[in-house]
Amino acid sequence: TKKRTQNADKKLTDVAKENDIQTLKLANTFKPRNTLKGHLAKIYAVHWATDSKQLVSASQDGKLLVWMAPTGDKTHAIPLRSSWVMTCAFAPSANYVASGGLDNVCSIYSLKPG
């Protein structure tokens, strides 16, 4: 813990050098590919579908939003029972999303029509 306390005030690159850890020099070259706007409060979780095109986000605005990431289009807006959502995820099939939160409830929603 002493080393951890000493490292707290150092730059990440200095700590990496001291511990013989390679760092990436690409940090300044990353640029957003898309900005997804739609939530009205803090976003607590984002999860990619296995198709790498869709993602689901959970927000304290009490909604799960399902997005087509390349276009930024919202495909589903799911109102939640509580705004205390903390996590979300796609099922491997991408036909369902789940959320869980501080209300001690895990909810599963179908994305299939009908």
- Which pLDDT value is given to residue 25? 61
- Which pLDDT value is given to residue 105? 92
Distance from chain centroid for Cα 36: 12
Answer whether residue 9 shows pLDDT above 80.
no
Higher pLDDT, 114 or 110: 110
- Which pLDDT value is given to residue 5? 61
Q: Which helix (H) or strand (E) holds 14?
A: helix 12-18
Answer whether residue 66 shows pLDDT above 70.
yes
- Which pLDDT value is given to residue 1? 61
Structure-token match 């990436």, residue found: 24
Cβ pair 101, 64 in contact under 8 A: no
Tell me the CA distances in angstroms from 109 to 16, 35, 97, one per residue in order: 43, 25, 5
DSSP state of 63: E
Answer whether residue 53 shows pLDDT above 70.
yes
Strand spans (E) along the chain: 43-48, 54-59, 63-68, 73-79, 85-90, 96-101, 106-110
Q: Pick from 98, 95, 103, 104: which is nearest to 45 by CA?
A: 98
Structure-token match 């990431």, residue found: 69
Mean pLDDT score of the chain, rounded to an integer?
86
Q: Model confidence at 27, in pLDDT bands (50, 70, 90)? A: low
